[in-house]
């Protein structure tokens, strides 16, 4: 009997469900009892197992603190602002990010995910944060969401390599693809703001709720998507719009019609005469 024979007709396909879990970054199965996997192991009790003690005459070495944890959030934000402002080019900004130790996400991520596409393109798209595929490869929007985004752009005659510069609100993947915390966004915000300023696009597209909220101040992506506003890059004011994230569209295909309206609006803004 196959796995699909054990579920009801209305249940999701098990293989598609497992694929979705993998896409979302789920890497292990847990039991029903909540557990703190970051807590220190509990000391042994009266079960015959002796507690480990340091050898006489040998001091216990101090625990090695994580570099990112040593920086207070307010200090990290101030440091990020200073480093971002000192960067004069996108390459310098990438180097500054690579050496920045103020965000704890860096310690759990595999790679810095800085950008992809053409920094000279008229459109800059800013997503939320890297996923599992992006973290592994080091480029934004390369998984199933990225493939859908490429098809969406192609539908209005745009190419990632030629017309669009792509980045994320956060350059490091949050564990398990969870939503970034306000503190993480505040720490990383100066870098993406400087990245937008240095790229100097004609149009900014915020992809997903966290990006729209962090950069444009929008709340509720379904209510705010498709609305044009002005964004101050620091050098000039440009047009900006928010749209739905491709990962959301993969889960809610019926809402692709809303994203298509946003794409048509983007196309009209790029070429008013078309």
Distance separating the N- and C-terminal Cα atoms of the chain: 57
**pLDDT for 106 beyond 50:** yes
pLDDT in tens, 210-244: 999 999 999 999 999 999 999 999 999 999 999 99
Write down the domain spans for the chain: 68-270
Mean pLDDT of the chain: 84
What is the CATH T-level fold of the domain 68-270, as seen in this structure?
Uracil-DNA Glycosylase, subunit E (3.40.470)
Is residue 133 a contact partner of residue 142, using CB atoms and an 8 Å limit?
yes
- Dump the DSSP string for 147-187: HHHHHHHHHTT--TTTTEEEEESSSSPPGGGPPPPHHHHHH
What whole-number distance in Å separates Cα of residue 62 and Cα of residue 242? 48
Q: State the SS3 of 194-221.
A: HHHHHHCCCEEEEECHHHHHHHHCCCCH
What whole-number distance in Å separates Cα of residue 175 and Cα of residue 125? 23
What whole-number distance in Å separates Cα of residue 240 and Cα of residue 202? 9
Nearest Cα neighbor of 85 from 216, 221, 235 is: 235
Q: Tell me which DSSP letter residue 50 carries.
A: P
- Share of residues in the chain with pLDDT > 70 (%): 73
Longest CA pairwise span in the chain (Å): 83
What pLDDT, on a 0 to 100 scale, did the predictor assign at position 74?
A: 84
**pLDDT for 77 beyond 60:** yes
What pLDDT, on a 0 to 100 scale, did the predictor assign at position 272?
A: 77
Query: What is the value of pTM for the model shown?
Result: 0.74
Tokens 């469900």 found at: 17
**pLDDT for 67 beyond 80:** no
- Report residue 250 as tokens: 């993969």
CA separation (Å) from 236 to 123, 188, 203? Answer: 15, 22, 12
Is residue 187 a contact partner of residue 100, using CB atoms and an 8 Å limit?
no
pLDDT in tens, 50-66: 444 544 554 544 444 44
| Selected residue with higher pLDDT from 214 and 22 | 214
What whole-number distance in Å separates Cα of residue 49 and Cα of residue 59? 23
Q: What is the rounded average pLDDT of the residues 154-163?
A: 96
Is residue 240 a contact partner of residue 203, using CB atoms and an 8 Å limit?
yes
Tokens 């098990």 found at: 14
């Amino acid at each position: 009997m196959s796995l699909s024979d054990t579920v009801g007709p209305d249940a999701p396909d098990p293989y598609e469900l497992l694929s979705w879990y993998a896409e979302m970054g789920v890497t292990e199965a847990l039991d029903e009892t909540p557990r703190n996997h970051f807590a220190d192991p509990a000391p042994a009790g009266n079960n015959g197992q002796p507690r480990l003690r340091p050898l006489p005459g040998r001091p216990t070495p101090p625990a090695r603190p994580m570099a990112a944890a040593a920086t207070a959030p307010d200090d990290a934000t101030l440091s990020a602002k200073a480093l971002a402002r000192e960067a004069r080019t996108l390459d310098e900004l990438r180097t500054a990010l690579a050496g920045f130790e103020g965000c704890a996400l860096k310690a759990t991520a595999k790679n810095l995910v800085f950008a992809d596409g053409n920094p000279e393109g008229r459109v800059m798209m800013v997503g939320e944060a890297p996923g599992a595929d992006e973290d592994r490869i080091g480029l934004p929007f390369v998984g199933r969401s990225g493939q859908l985004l490429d098809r969406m752009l192609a539908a209005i005659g745009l190419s990632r390599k030629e017309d669009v510069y792509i980045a994320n609100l956060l350059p490091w993947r949050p564990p398990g693809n969870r939503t970034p915390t306000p503190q993480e966004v505040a720490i990383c915000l100066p870098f993406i703001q400087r990245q937008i300023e240095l790229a100097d696009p004609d149009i900014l597209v915020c992809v997903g709720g966290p990006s729209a909220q962090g950069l444009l101040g929008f709340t509720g992506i379904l209510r705010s998507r498709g609305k044009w506003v002005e964004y101050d890059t620091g050098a000039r004011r440009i047009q900006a719009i928010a749209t739905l994230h491709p990962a959301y569209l993969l889960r809610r295909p019926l809402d692709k019609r809303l994203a298509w309206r946003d794409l048509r609006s983007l196309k009209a803004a790029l070429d008013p005469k078309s």
